[in-house]
Amino acid sequence: MPCTRLPLETNNQNWTLHKVGQTYSVSFGLLRGVKKRVPLAIHQANHEAVLDGILAGTHKKGSLKLVQSKKGVWYACISVSWEVPGPSETPRFIGVDRGQNHLAVAVTPEGRALFLSFGWVRHIRRHYAAKRRRLQKAGKHRTLKRLEQKESRTIRHVNHILSKKLVAFAKEHGCGIRMEDLSGIRQSRQRQSTRAQADLNRDFWPYYDLEIKTAYKALGAGVAFEKVPAAYTSKTCRKCGAIGVRNRHRFRCERCGYRGHADHNAGSNLANWLGLSCPVVLEVPQGGVHGTPHQPSTRLGPSWVSEPGPKGLG
Ligand SMILES: [Zn+2]
């Protein structure tokens, strides 16, 4: 067969999926009516469910594309579509803070929290950072690149687990998922040098990756997902709405005396977010902001443009 650099693509009519025992394979037509059947190696467990969906007829197959990686490995890229349940209409959300102290903290509107942290992740990130500096100094760019790829694989794997747990937690409490919109943070710092930018991207992409994975899994599970402006969620007191002091993993409010875990406080603010990106008005409703049920307000355009809460916060 002549060597080609272009991917081989065929539409949904021209390829078939088979399953014999536990082995999946695809067959497709070659030139002059010759048919070829190739077994598939499944490298991600959830792909099996998708392939089974095609076989069962619940999933619709699209085109099949065969691409060869730089290392010479062939990949079958299959596009699949299927119906997912519409996100349940819920006025309740869990707030997810992607904290500095914990990888993620999810808090329900009632204040129940799920702390997700893997001690070893921070450990290996520090380990990688030190190694990276050494390699940079020595000018070993190839080794450096390999190291970065290895690190990113680890983070992707961890985010996969985190997002799964977050969606399960939301579902268990009948909530949607609400995360901080971090794009503003990134833009405001974009004018820095490329080197600093590269470092910043390294710091931020794990958060984006977690967001994408969570949104994707939420969609599949019928769990609502939304992003809200990040301003002040970590500085606001979850009890009274005043601006407090965040110091590492501690949060304290001078106004009402509340003291708590900083990530939990931020997550709780996200969960009880009333549609104000900045708590300008520090008028405290009776009983505090916390505990006020989030009222579904008339939605105007983007989901975060909602009217102020019912208790005269505006
Ligand atoms: Zn307070």
What is the percent of the chain where pLDDT is above 90? 28
pLDDT, tens digit, 9 for 90 and up, residues 139-151 = 888 998 898 888 8
244 CA → ligand 1 middle, Å: 7
Say how many Å lie between the CA of residue 19 and the centre of ligand 1: 60
| Per-residue confidence band for 96, with pLDDT thresholds at 50, 70 and 90 | very high
CB of 273 closer than 8 Å to CB of 95: yes
| Among 75-89, 102-116, 297-311, the range of highest mean pLDDT | 102-116
| Burial label, 201 (beta-carbon count in 10 A; 0-12, 13-18, 19+) | exposed
Cα(258) to ligand 1 centroid in Å equals 5
Gap from CA of 93 to ligand 1 centroid (Å): 22
* Mean predicted confidence (pLDDT) in 93-106: 86
**3-class DSSP state for residue 244?**
coil
Expressed in angstroms and rounded, the spacing between residue 242 Cα and the centre of ligand 1 is 5
CA of 240 to the centre of ligand 1 (A): 4
pLDDT digits 0-9 by tens, 247-283: 888 999 998 999 999 989 999 988 888 765 444 444 4
Let me know the angle formed at the C-alpha of 284 by 280 and 290, rounded to the nearest 5 degrees.
100
- What is the whole-number distance in angstroms between the Cα of residue 299 and the centre of ligand 1? 29
Q: Are 164 and 220 in contact (CB under 8 A)?
A: no
Q: Report how far ligand 1's centroid is from the alpha carbon of 236 (Å).
A: 8
Going from the Cα of 171 to the center of ligand 1, the distance in angstroms, rounded, reads 30
Q: How far does the centroid of ligand 1 lie from the alpha carbon of residue 49, in Å? A: 48
What is the DSSP code (8-state) at residue 311? T
Q: Measured in angstroms, how far is the CA atom of residue 205 from the centroid of ligand 1?
A: 32
pLDDT tens by residue, 160-207 = 999 999 999 999 999 999 998 877 555 444 455 566 666 666 667 888
- The rounded Å distance from CA 241 to ligand 1 centre is 6
Q: Quote the tokens at residue 190.
A: 């974009």
* Buried residues in 280-295 as b, exposed as e (16+ CB within 10 A): eeeebeeeebbebebe
Distance CA 259, CA 252 (A): 4
CA dihedral 181, 116, 202, 47 (to 10 degrees): -90
Determine the distance separating the centroid of ligand 1 and the alpha carbon of 286, expressed in angstroms. Answer: 13
How far from 38 is each of 13, 18, 23, 42, 298, CA to CA, in Å? 17, 10, 10, 13, 53
- DSSP 3-state assignment of 161? helix
Q: Where are the alpha helices (DSSP H) in 80-140?
A: 119-138
- Give the integer Cα–Cα distance in Å for 151 and 154: 5
Q: How far does the centroid of ligand 1 lie from the alpha carbon of residue 308, in Å?
A: 20
Tokens 């999810």 correspond to what residue?
A: 106
Centroid of ligand 1 to alpha carbon of 295 (angstroms): 22
Q: Edge-to-edge, what's the strand order for the sheet holding 250-252?
A: 245-247, 250-252, 259-261
Contacts of 302 (CB under 8 A, 6+ apart): none
Distance 259 CA to ligand 1 centre (A): 8
Confidence of residue 112 (pLDDT cuts 50, 70, 90): very high
Cα of 219 vs centre of ligand 1, distance in Å, is: 35
In the sheet that 74-81 helps form, which strands lie side by side, from edge to edge? 8-10, 60-68, 74-81
Indicate if the pLDDT at residue 129 is higher than 90: no
- Torsion sign, CA atoms 210, 264, 203, 121: negative
For 168, half-sphere exposure in the C-beta direction (CA atoms, 13 angstrom radius) is: 8
Q: What burial letters (b/e) apply to 206-236, b meaning 16+ CB within 10 Å?
A: bbebbbebbbebbbebebbbbbbbbbbbbbb
